[in-house]
Structure 1
Amino acid sequence: MFQTLKNAWKVDEIRKKLIFTLLMLVIFRLGNAIPVPFVDRNVLTQLYQYTEGNLLSFMNLLTGGALGEFTIFAMSIYPYITASIILQLLTIAIPRLEELSKEGEAGQKKIQQYTRIGAVVLGVFQALGISGKLFARAVVAKGFLEQASIIVVLIAGTMFLVWLGDLITEKGIGNGISMLIFAGIISRLPHSFIYWTQGVIQGKINPINAILMLIIVVVVVAGVVIIAEGERRINVQYAKRVVGRKMYGGQATHIPIKVNMGGVMPVIFTSSLLQLPSMLGMLIGGGFGEFVNKYFSPQQNPGIIITNILAVILIILFAFFYTAIQFNTVEYSKNLQQQGGFIPGIRPGRPTSDYMGKISNRITFIGAIALAILYVLPAILSAIFKLPISFGGTAIIIVVGVVLETFKQMESMLLMRHYKGFLNK
């Protein structure tokens, strides 16, 4: 990996992309330090200390500490992610949206516009929950305009991050949205390890349990790498064709089907959806808020069981959803037939499509189950060992997945320039 970075830095185009990405992440981190107006910082600190160790710690991790500090990026990009999930699901149900998705770049721009509108609508409700319920005691806004300015600032912060993510995707390295989430999580991991170290020194945390959890983290990292790199290869044979005096085709190759085609997106989408009940609980409050805090908080009992079960189900569903989007077996079968290719022992056309679909479903199910296990394993073991942990399978999978995807993108750029990176060694 370090050799790949070294080689990438030598290429002027890739070096500019790397520098641009780093500058955008610096802007993201600087924005996390800009406070929302009309907020008493002393009261805010007390509120965060009071809620340390519960759901707020997990949400604060995903926002890179912006939520706990109540900064302009307190909502991060999660309203946009939730709106994206809703639009992609509606694309299947509404014919007009399905037509737009097939109209190429123009259709995608229209869907992105709808997604941004949905993000603003969801952002209004989430901002009301944060300012009116979660940190209500810290808000010193008196009039309507002052309260409205808090909502506007929070929504503007989210939409600015969406724009920043698009810039990273277009002009930088990696997926912009994933990179922002990655940067936020990385910025909070030292805080978590310091908290562990202090707990061990002060006798609040059993050293053996801490060591066991570190071993589990290493196992999860290794598991994520195995899932990301795993693939099933389907053999393909091309028929020989004689054109004039030359013979074409006749070679054998393969179709690689990844175990986890969705990458980290199933985990990101799952973590985003699991925040919705908490946001509604904060917004509505009262008995409903207490119910949500008990049954949908990963730090409560039986909330930890319910949220982990929901997480497993959602990860599996999103894994299949993304595989269906990225690997259209019908179109793949048509293209293969037009190019004179066939799978040995399988007839071209519909049988080939069915065969690839069956293999894809099987390998996706295995990958989704493995991803779900890695997702819930740290949280379950943390509850067993009584070890407080703000990060878990979510953070580990996202961090490792984003690093792998980013280095793969750099590796593909290097291969185009005849460099040899770590993937070919």
Structure 2
Amino acid sequence: MASAAEQMASNISFSNFSKATELKKRLWFTLGALVLFRMLSFVPIPGIDPVAMQQLYATQAGGILSVFNTFSGGALERASIIALGVMPYITASIVVQLMAALYPPWQALRKEGETGRKKLNQYTRYLTVLLTTVQGYFIAVGLEGLGANNNIGAVVDPGMLFRVTATISLVGGTLFLMWIGEQITSRGIGNGISLIIMAGIVAGLPRAIAQLLEGGRTGAMDPAMVVGIVLLVVALVLFICFVERAQRRVLIQYPKRQSARGMVQQERSHLPMKVNIAGVIPPIFASSLLLMPLTVIQMSGAQNNPNASDWLITISTLLQHGAPLYLGLYAAGIVFFCFFYAAVQFNSEETADGLKRHGGFIPGIRPGKATEHYFDYLISRLTVIGSAYLVVICLIPEVLASQMGLAFALGGTSLLIVVNVTMDTVSQIQSHLIAHQYGDLIKKAKLKGARRR
């Protein structure tokens, strides 16, 4: 059943879009910021040979570097100053959220409202700088080592000066992206960090579509298979939209309140609980952990070394994309992080206590501990459905890529991010249009009132 806001948004005439001046300014600002992000992805780190860097990256494709490269829009492949993208900021945000749920002093900060939120945001920025510095230094050292192992001179002048310069460039690029994301959130449309990640993912989509169509034209791929891939992607997008909008609405009742005119009718409300509470965090964490050993093996040069140990070669083979062990561990990791992150995100005890303080209760459930156990029961059931949904979405592209030799333009995680961010952005645009419509109605009401006088 559609909400009142959704029903109103469906009745909005988008012919009023031309009158929404503030909305147009926000959209142009968002577009300009994303264009700037794409331009920065082509600015290389000082001391890098771009041609040699592409050859070097081709030898390391398939590990966690490919995931970062996808999220950064190919910036890592080109050794751009924004090669790390906003992933350090995302990691720092997740760590701070977990600490705010588990560490008592930070729990107190989270309960302080706006002041506590600002302090936690500041801690997130500090942690972002620390993570970017460490990752940037290791990337600089790794570029020197990879170039030496593969006889590719990607670094023009290796040494401590290059490491310092590369680290400073990468830290500055990530912090600038973080600032752009915050500006989009406050002055544009949508969540800025999410839009930057989506822009990086979508940047590689035209090339993938062109390769798919070219394969069908030249006969390298069956035209029926091309049509089947397109239909499968459309079906996955519709399925993601359906599940992401699905909610379990818990009925909350409040006691009747006495007023000057007598007894007021009993109030009712709903507590919405999403089916996919954890969002896209579980697939990102699971894939990063699984691809980490493969990346270490690749960067050490053991994969192409005939004298390497047998167990390193075995690990590299078993953890390849599409391998049965990889698929099994990937699914298990998604399920584990779904339950873990859902438990951190939704605090059943705090929610039950909050309802009890405000006099609210669930019909048929006693306030207090019984309500807390009921919330735990609901979260467990919803997380089972949500984790199964994420496993299906993320494993279908992997199975197709391995068993049928198909290269999916968007992986499961990328598809989830693109669809979720698009839905959130469209919802915010609808909210601005609704606010604009309310403003016009208020102005007309004031004018009519003034004429009657």
Match among 218, 229, 247 for residue 263 of structure 2? 247
Q: CA deviation at 1:31?
A: 0.7
Establish whether residue 356 from structure 1 lines up as the match of residue 365 from structure 2: no
Q: Measure, in 2, the Cα distance between the counterparts of 1:238 and 1:99.
A: 28
Secondary structure at the aligned position of 1:67 is classed as coil
- Taking only aligned residues, the RMSD between alpha carbons, in angstroms, comes to 3.2
Match among 67, 72, 76 for residue 63 of structure 1? 72
Corresponding residue number in structure 2 for 1:343 = 362
Deviation digits for residues 43-80 of structure 1 (CA, Å, limit 9, x no counterpart): 22333455567765554222101111221111111122
Residue 28 to residue 373, structure 1, CA distance change in 2 (3 Å)? same
Q: Measure, in 1, the Cα distance between the counterparts of 2:29 and 2:288.
A: 27
- Say which is worse superposed, 156-165 or 328-337, in terms of deviation: 328-337
The code of the aligned residue for 1:369 comes to A
Corresponding residue number in structure 1 for 2:135 = 126
Establish whether residue 405 from structure 1 lines up as the match of residue 427 from structure 2: no
Establish whether residue 225 from structure 1 lines up as the match of residue 232 from structure 2: no
The code of the aligned residue for 1:84 comes to S
Secondary structure at the aligned position of 2:244 is classed as helix
Secondary structure at the aligned position of 2:349 is classed as helix
Q: Matches of residues 29-108 of structure 1 in structure 2 within 5 Å? A: 29-49=38-58, 57-108=66-117
Q: Measure, in 2, the Cα distance between the counterparts of 1:74 and 1:314.
A: 26
Q: Return the structure number with greater relative CO, CA threshold 8 A, min gap 6.
A: 1
The code of the aligned residue for 1:388 comes to A
Corresponding residue number in structure 2 for 1:112 = 121
Corresponding residue number in structure 1 for 2:4 = none
Deviation digits for residues 288-308 of structure 1 (CA, Å, limit 9, x no counterpart): 98677544443xx63xx4444
Unaligned runs of 5+ in 2: 1-8, 303-307, 439-453
Establish whether residue 236 from structure 1 lines up as the match of residue 255 from structure 2: no
- Say which is worse superposed, 315-324 or 211-220, in terms of deviation: 315-324
The code of the aligned residue for 1:191 comes to R
Q: Measure, in 1, the Cα distance between the counterparts of 2:98 and 2:155.
A: 36
Secondary structure at the aligned position of 1:39 is classed as coil
Q: Measure, in 2, the Cα distance between the counterparts of 1:166 and 1:96.
A: 26
Corresponding residue number in structure 1 for 2:160 = 144
Residue 72 to residue 366, structure 1, CA distance change in 2 (3 Å)? same
Secondary structure at the aligned position of 2:76 is classed as helix
Q: Measure, in 1, the Cα distance between the counterparts of 2:117 and 2:260.
A: 43
Secondary structure at the aligned position of 2:258 is classed as strand
Give TM-score scaled by structure 1 length.
Answer: 0.84
Residue 111 to residue 275, structure 1, CA distance change in 2 (3 Å)? farther
Residue 145 to residue 52, structure 1, CA distance change in 2 (3 Å)? closer
Match among 159, 182, 190 for residue 166 of structure 1? 182
Deviation digits for residues 104-132 of structure 1 (CA, Å, limit 9, x no counterpart): 34433443343334333433443344444
Q: Matches of residues 268-279 of structure 1 in structure 2 within 5 Å? A: 268-271=284-287, 276-277=292-293
Q: Measure, in 1, the Cα distance between the counterparts of 2:340 and 2:268.
A: 30
Contact in 2 for aligned 1:38/1:140 (Cα 8 Å) = yes
Corresponding residue number in structure 1 for 2:305 = none
Q: Measure, in 2, the Cα distance between the counterparts of 1:22 and 1:179.
A: 10
Q: Measure, in 2, the Cα distance between the counterparts of 1:70 and 1:13.
A: 37
Unaligned runs of 5+ in 1: 420-425
The code of the aligned residue for 1:332 comes to T
Q: CA deviation at 1:24?
A: 1.4
Q: CA deviation at 1:162?
A: 1.6
Corresponding residue number in structure 1 for 2:450 = none
Contact in 1 for aligned 2:277/2:386 (Cα 8 Å) = no
Residue 110 to residue 5, structure 1, CA distance change in 2 (3 Å)? farther
Q: Measure, in 1, the Cα distance between the counterparts of 2:393 and 2:83.
A: 27
State the identity as a percent.
38
Q: Measure, in 2, the Cα distance between the counterparts of 1:56 and 1:328.
A: 35
Contact in 1 for aligned 2:205/2:410 (Cα 8 Å) = yes
The code of the aligned residue for 2:190 comes to G
Secondary structure at the aligned position of 1:45 is classed as helix
Contact in 2 for aligned 1:128/1:283 (Cα 8 Å) = no
Corresponding residue number in structure 2 for 1:200 = 216
Q: CA deviation at 1:417?
A: 4.6
